[in-house]
Structure 1
Amino acid sequence: MVAALAAAAITLLAGCAGTPAATPAADGTQIVRMATMPWIGYGPWYIAETDGIFADAGLSVEQTEFEGDAEVNAAFISGNVDVANVATHTAMLMQQAGVPIKIVLIEDVSTTADAIIAPAGIESIADLAGKKVAYEQGTTSDLLLNYALDDAGMTLDDIVAVPMNAADAGVALIGGKVDAAVTYEPYIQTALAEDADLGVLFSADKLPGLISDVLVVSDDFIAEHPDTIQALVSSWGLALDSYNADQPAGRAIIADAVGEDAAALSSAFDGVIFYDGAQNANELGGSFLNEAMPLVRKAAQSAGILTGDVDLSALVDPQFVAN
């Protein structure tokens, strides 16, 4: 029912959406409105801003930060932002609902940076039976939880689902409101630091590629502003070059942007694989499209997040990473 309501909401918003139009700033740079969240996988955009990469590319990128996926989706589909950072399965859900979009960039794959955390005494997924589990429905947390339960021969019916934003799930666990929480970094490390009794029960590295993020753009915006999208995609590649050349500096920028200490997020960064320009050029129209995306689609269908099929090849536009 949750998946059906999410799809209905996306369809309604799609019907209301106007054609977004990039506008030049007073200094002549092109304004791009971007929807994002405090997830370290989106961090290279902050490097692009701090290092002047956007400015050098003639861009003025206005990053608006949201707490949950639903807010990001609504802002993008309604035309209040031009581009959005979303999970791969979210892009599929948009396409299924008839939203004309394209994935133009692979941003990251999570290994240990998305996880189910629980206190001592809950040592396996089977131990979650009858327990209250906090997670954000329709998101990567939903995907991860469903996969973990299925792997253990269980379903959502075997637990007590407690819906809430991933940002709040760890807090609810620390406060004793729930028995386990599904969330992502930096919230995992924050919870573990607050309560020494907590540990990681299950993480995304059990199925590499399941949790991934992409940049989506409407078909109209691509048609009207291809040079702007090219400059944005190229800026990501340059930001990753900067990050790889000086990881401590790059991590400091990202940690500051998400409101955390870089040292405390060291293991969190180790649990994220960023995709640079060369990897995007090789994989967006290759292994990511042909291997990773079918895996995500299958998991989302099994979880009931996707209720039908999607045309993966029609969802990807690799022209910008190829350039």
Structure 2
Amino acid sequence: MTMTLLKTVSRCVTAIALAGTPGLVSAAESVRIAGFTWPGYGFWHIAIEKGLAPDLDIAYQTIEDPYESFNLVAAGQLDVVSSTAEFTPVGVERGMPVKLVAFGNLSYGTDKIVAGPGIESAADLAGKEVAVLEGGLAQIYVAMWLEQNGQPYDSVTYRNIIADDAFAAMIGGGVAASEFWEPYGTNTLKALEGASVLAQSKEPFWLKSGVIADGHYMSDALISDRRDVALLTMKAMYDSIGWWKQNPAEGNQIIADGMNMSIADVELVIGKDGTGLDGGLYVYDFMEAAQFCGSAPGNPPFDQVNGQMTEHWNLVSDWWVKFNLIEKAAAPETGIDCSLHKELYDGGYRG
């Protein structure tokens, strides 16, 4: 586990005017953020390294288990979690004081369903074991793909094996297929003769649905009790994304250093040119994320529609009911808060 901490010199000021952001903040405000090792969350490191949020004292902590991060939010020990975008219905049913406030990035090929030798179709997987992160997007991805291809979602046995362990299980023949994100998918294809890709997230259906994505979560306390700080935190993230788009080489190196990853793996995921179209992950800028939330006019990319955050909530909730992870689907507003995007947009911020 790694932690990068920016210590900002505390100073007394009468008022700090933040262009495009409502509210005033005096001195540096502490914000505690966590996410697992993934380049899509590395923009927090850019905010820290480049001093893009001088009014915030950002502490970013790498925690590989998202459930641990959300439990820390519930305990009042974290303010923000960057994680995959399917958790909120589960958190709502468990009474966790957290909201999904933004879509962060969309899988643009980094997620793949990889099969071992002799597996060429969904029908070939029937009765076999598939490695996924149970209770995560990987499980929904495989289930939806099976149904798209004429097989019941429960025609396979889901095994809760991820990352390095799933790679080893595939190589050893312990599972017939696995859902992988990079670099594990590419590594498996290289190492296992006869392995093939059954589906990958760059296909138009997956892009349009927005189902395989990352999100950013904030505690209810941050949103309600420290709203000026919440707005500054969201702005810092989008300012960092904007900086990365203009400086992708330096930005990727900052992310690689902050995440303890190789620069090659970072580039494999988010690309080299800052467009988000030359890697495996498409990063939403402020306007795109606000459109997805329904807080700014216009439509997000990839034939998605304005306000699709609600549709995504309903889709994910329905699957968690099927998998008995939750008892029933709750209303979207119980787990989604798009008001920060709206307030920033109405204040003139455009990222």
Aligned position for 1:145: 142
Aligned position for 2:111: 114
Aligned position for 1:217: 218
Judge which range, 92-101 or 248-257, deviates more.
Answer: 248-257
Contact 1:130–1:159 (Cα < 8 Å) also in 2: yes
Contact 1:35–1:75 (Cα < 8 Å) also in 2: no
Determine the C-alpha separation between the residues in 1 that align with 2:307 and 2:188.
35
Aligned position for 2:298: none
Determine the C-alpha separation between the residues in 2 that align with 1:175 and 1:66.
28
Structure with greater Cα Rg: 2
Aligned position for 2:284: 275
TM-score, normalised relative to structure 1: 0.81
- Pairwise CA distance, 1:252: 3.3
- Pairwise CA distance, 1:105: 2.1
Contact 1:143–1:303 (Cα < 8 Å) also in 2: no
Contact 2:120–2:198 (Cα < 8 Å) also in 1: yes
1:124-273 → structure 2 map (5 Å cutoff): 124-155=121-152, 157-195=154-192, 197-204=194-201, 205=203, 206-208=205-207, 209-264=210-265, 266-269=267-270, 270-273=279-282
- Pairwise CA distance, 1:232: 1.0
Determine the C-alpha separation between the residues in 1 that align with 2:107 and 2:316.
13
What is the aligned counterpart of 1:96 among 72, 93, 102?
93
Residue ranges of structure 2 left out of the alignment (5+ in a row): 1-5, 11-27, 271-278, 295-305, 345-351
Matched, 1:289 2:309: yes
Higher relative contact order (CA 8 A, sep 6+): 1
Aligned position for 2:337: 317
Contact 1:34–1:61 (Cα < 8 Å) also in 2: yes
Determine the C-alpha separation between the residues in 2 that align with 1:257 and 1:173.
30
**Structure with the bigger percentage of helix:** 1
Aligned position for 1:70: 67
- Tell me the percent identity: 26
Determine the C-alpha separation between the residues in 1 that align with 2:118 and 2:249.
36
TM-score, normalised relative to structure 2: 0.75
Runs of 4+ aligned residues of structure 1 deviating over 6 Å after TM superposition are: none
Classify the secondary structure of the residue corresponding to 1:297: helix
Aligned position for 1:27: 9
Distance 1:180 1:86, change over 3 A: same
Aligned position for 2:58: 61
Distance 1:200 1:258, change over 3 A: farther
Q: How many residues align?
A: 298
Determine the C-alpha separation between the residues in 1 that align with 2:69 and 2:187.
23
Residue ranges of structure 1 left out of the alignment (5+ in a row): 1-23
- Pairwise CA distance, 1:221: 2.5
